[in-house]
């Protein structure tokens, strides 16, 4: 939210910042998870393009998710197939009462 001064008072604008810092409510880890759940056979280069981060960053995120037990990677020919384990709880104490599947349902409707 941007503040604008009107008659000496600060007024909050409902418009998102256009020139300010860009941030999102979800992390790159959740973005990668969402993309792989929707299309489990995508190559990481395409995941990177959709998320808006480098392919190397996606590789690190996928490794984190795999090490954490949130996804399984299976080699199919020359490609990977990813399975998101939807029954696991989210990691932060504030949301740990919800599962990965709950997050995915919220995003995908």
CA angle 65, 67, 70 (to 5 degrees): 40
* Segment 39-88, tens digit of pLDDT: 999 999 999 999 999 999 999 999 999 999 999 999 999 999 999 999 99
Residue 66 belongs to some domain of the structure: yes
Q: pLDDT class for 109, splitting at 50, 70, 90?
A: confident
Per the CB < 8 A criterion, the answer to whether 47 and 35 are in contact is: yes
Name the residue range of residue 66's domain. Answer: 27-108
Report the number of distinct structural domains present in the chain. Answer: 1
* Segment 87-106, tens digit of pLDDT: 999 999 999 999 999 999 99
Residue 78 belongs to some domain of the structure: yes
Residue 100 belongs to some domain of the structure: yes
Residue 11 belongs to some domain of the structure: no
Predicted confidence (pLDDT) at residue 20 exceeds the cutoff of 50:
yes
What CATH number did the domain enclosing 76 receive?
A: 1.10.10.10
């Amino acid at each position: 939210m941007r503040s604008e001064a009107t008659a000496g008072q600060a007024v909050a604008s409902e418009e998102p910042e256009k020139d300010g810092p860009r941030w999102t409510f979800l992390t790159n880890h959740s973005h990668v998870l969402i993309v792989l759940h929707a299309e489990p056979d995508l190559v990481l280069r395409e995941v990177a393009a959709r998320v808006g981060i480098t392919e190397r960053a996606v590789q690190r995120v996928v490794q984190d998710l795999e090490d954490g037990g949130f996804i399984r990677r299976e080699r199919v020919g020359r490609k990977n197939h990813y399975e998101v384990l939807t029954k696991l709880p989210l990691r932060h104490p504030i949301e740990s009462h919800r599962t990965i599947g709950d997050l995915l349902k919220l995003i995908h409707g």
